[in-house]
Structure 1
Amino acid sequence: MTVEQPWVEKYRPREIGDVASQGEVVKTLESALSSGNLPHLLFYGPPGTGKTTCALAIVRQLFGADLLRARVLELNASDERGIAVVRNKIKSFAAISVGASPAGRSVPPYKVIILDEADAMTTDAQAALRRTMETYSRVTRFIIICNYVSRIIEPLASRCAKFRFKPLHGTVIDDRINHICQVEGVQLGPDALCTLSRVAGGDMRRAITTLQSAVRLGGSPVRPQTLMDVAGVVPDAAARGLLHTCRESDFAGVQSAVADLIHEGYPAQEVLAEVQGAVLVDPGIDDVRKARVLERLALADKALIDGADEFLQLLAVASLTQRVILGQA
């Protein structure tokens, strides 16, 4: 039985030059690859912008498929984030000397360790990693990948060449999606491409995964509503309805509206993003009061990232919004 490969892996760029819309990063990395003198690297930026793809392309071009197992260690630091992993797994691999290059090939005399989602590592683990980087830099290079560079300790970040990956906007995602649709024989319905671009939010991986899921669910041509259902996008009407409730109802009504949103299964951060958009364009709220609501939205978003309860955070935002609209805050 043939198992179909996920499109996000099937269409992942294999060479560094094929990575979309990261021109400055690609140009600099290609120069480093041509010389074979690779420094420690730190890739940071939003999800789905090509960080891991670039790292895998680098080691593939450096060593070839036959040496990947011997020369490359790939770890997801969000799963293995403690100091024990650094002391055991990483240090053990980093200390091993490299073998001779295959006959007829010029291969750099070092190994590469890829640490994905390194911003999930504890501070102690990062400090231990810094020491390991210093000790074994002659035979081992590190590629550190994270979403939030502020969560990487400065002694570690300062030892790396830093590259920022930008969100993918404009025609970049559209061109890639059109290419995939052409190869896979998929048709896009009216406004489907625009909807997919909005749903992706600059995340190429999310765009491709959503497209494949929508094709499996609704077939071809792909309709905008199918894309929104698959992606779990909060409808614009939901955010406008919450603002209307804040304006016209009492606290009990607001609490009920928030509970309904949670019961519908919408992610709280998605709801906050839609509420932000609705507040910004609401003509009945002046700029000063909008600023108060947006400040509370930011606090709620940070709390959700740290693991706070979704219902309580949404209720706190809705309650403040109600008081701001009514002139009570």
Structure 2
Amino acid sequence: MMVIRSPSGWGDIIPPHSTARRAGDAFVSGSLDRLLLEGPPGSGKTSAAYAMLFSRIPDLHKTQNDISYLNAADCRTESDVLRTIEGMRMYGQNSTGQRFLIIDEVDCFASVAASTLKGKLDGLETNVPVILTTNHISRLDPALVSRFKAVHWNRLSVDQMTSWIKGQCAKAGYSLKDTDLATILADGTDYRKVVQNLAML
């Protein structure tokens, strides 16, 4: 079984298009602090979010507890939001002293929770990095969306995914065969399925 290296930084990600690359570059550089990645399931939005943070704060990968993470598909109540935002008040163990926030599937929040999130985000310092992901941006309150740079994050093309697969195999020291590539891409370019298929090599 091949060991797949999780993206350790923005350089391990192939953005789906130039706008996504520019937004990621801006977030990593610190000129952008609020980012909303919207797109279909399996496009790699969450992996991209972590990769951006790891590149923005080089020692963040050593202190995973510096990232407050919430998946609204599983934890969607107002109390979940309050608990997560409260965790942002803790002092970060990385070189910046900050904590960072990733919320997945933000469209799954109940209406009260979504309203609370909007208000609590306004209470955070403006330079606190926050990334939201959603499969359905049309379900979000436009007032929440307006607080973020929204970027469509579609699935990679076959050529883009092939390039990413080859890079992952090279990092793992695996000699990729054409038959391997066909097996990996048998389910298309769904990021999660590609990673699962890679792990079966």
Please state which band the TM-score falls in when normalised by the shorter chain.
0.7 to 0.9
Say whether 1:40 aligns with 2:34: yes
Deviation of 1:198 (Å): 5.0
How far residue 167 of structure 1 moved from its aligned partner, in angstroms, is 1.6
Confirm whether residue 29 of structure 1 aligns to residue 35 of structure 2: no
The answer as to whether partners of 1:55 and 1:143 remain within 8 angstroms in 2 is: yes
- Greater RCO between the two (CA within 8 Å, min separation 6)? 2
CA distance in 2, matches of 1:150, 1:42: 13
Provide the TM-score with structure 1 as the length reference: 0.52
Match of 1:72 in 2: 67
SS in 2 for 1:73: strand
Larger Rg: 1
* C-alpha distance in structure 2 between counterparts of 1:29 and 1:168, whole Å: 16
Q: Which residue of 1 aligns with 2:121?
A: 133
2:194 alignment partner, one of 189, 192, 207: 207
Q: Which residue of structure 1 aligns with residue 153 of structure 2?
A: 165
Q: How far 1:119 moved relative to its partner?
A: 2.0
1:171–1:130 distance in 2 versus 1, CA, 3 Å: same
Q: Which runs of 5+ in 2 are unaligned?
A: none
* Equivalent residue for 1:85, pick from 77, 80, 87: 80
Q: Determine if contact 2:9/2:53 at 8 Å carries over to the other structure.
A: no
Percent of aligned positions that are identical: 23
CA distance in 1, matches of 2:161, 2:19: 18
Deviation by residue 1:172-210 (Cα, 9 ceiling, x = unmatched): 222333444563345443xx645643522x313212312
Structure (1/2) with the larger strand percentage: 2
The within-5 A match list for 1:85-164 is 85-87=80-82, 89-94=83-88, 96=89, 98=91, 102=95, 107=96, 110-138=98-126, 140-164=128-152
Q: What count of residue pairs does the alignment treat as equivalent?
A: 196
State the distance in 1 between where 2:159 and 2:85 align: 43
Whole-angstrom CA distance in 2 between matches of 1:58 and 1:43 = 12
Report the Cα distance in structure 2 between the residues aligned to 1:157 and 1:11, rounded to whole angstroms.
32
Indicate the residue corresponding to 1:184 in structure 2. Answer: 174
Does 2:50 match 1:60? no
The code of the aligned residue for 1:142 comes to: V
Q: Distance in 1 between matches of 2:162 and 2:54?
A: 27
Structure-2 change in CA distance of 1:18 and 1:48 (3 Å): same
Deviation larger for 115-124 or 59-68: 59-68
Partner of 2:6: 12
- Partner Cα separation in structure 2 for residue 39 and residue 83 of structure 1: 23
Change (3 A) 1:27 1:21: same
Residues 104 and 132 in structure 2, CA contact (< 8 A), matched pair in contact too: yes
Q: Normalising by structure 2, report the TM-score.
A: 0.81
Residue in 2 that maps onto 1:175 = 163
1:159 CA displacement: 0.8
Q: How far 1:99 sits from its partner (Å)?
A: 6.4
CA RMSD of aligned residues (A): 2.8
> Which aligned runs of 4 or more in structure 1 are off by greater than 4 angstroms?
97-102, 179-182
Distance 2:116 2:46 in 1: 23
- After superposition, the C-alpha distances for 1:276-304 in whole angstroms (9 at most, x for unaligned) are xxxxxxxxxxxxxxxxxxxxxxxxxxxxx
Query: Quick check: 2:72–2:105 contact (8 Å CA) kept in 1?
Result: yes
Work out the CA distance in 1 between the residues paired with 2:54 and 2:135: 23
Whichever structure has more helix as a proportion of its residues is: 1
| Corresponding letter in the other structure for 1:114 | I
Q: Secondary structure at the residue paired with 1:140?
A: coil
